[in-house]
Amino acid sequence: KAGVTQTPRYLIKTRGQQVTLSCSPISGHRSVSWYQQTPGQGLQFLFEYFSETQRNKGNFPGRFSGRQFSNSRSEMNVSTLELGDSALYLCASSLAGTGLPGELFFGEGSRLTVL
């Protein structure tokens, strides 16, 4: 069974640009979550989607947005990039509803560097 796939794995952007990250969940998983990981703040919750609806949202500015498609694939977008957005962005999928709450399966992440 294929795991969670994130693309791109690495990317470099400059301040003010925008970026779109993609996530393909494990087949059959309907919930997709996004986390930002930095050395200073650790893993922080961005948002969670279930059946194309945002179900939970973290404390990030509106520059961070996401969506989920009917096939459960998800994208997140960061607009007007700032230096502080440099981080590893992790996507995680879960069964949601039939699996254990909190049992997340993570991808390897997209490492974003903002110059």
Residues of the shown chain interacting with other proteins in the complex, contacts defined by CB under 8 A: 4, 31, 33, 35, 41-45, 48, 50, 55-56, 58, 90, 92, 94, 96, 100-109
Q: CA nearest 26: which of 71, 56, 65? A: 71
Contact 22, 112 (CB under 8 A): no
Q: Which is nearer to other proteins, 61 or 101 (CB)?
A: 101
Q: How far apart are CA 32 and CA 24, in angstroms?
A: 9
In the complex, the smallest distance separating the C-beta of residue 22 from other proteins, rounded to whole angstroms, is 15
Shorter beta-carbon distance to other proteins: residue 42 or 62: 42
Which one-letter amino acid corresponds to residue 2? A
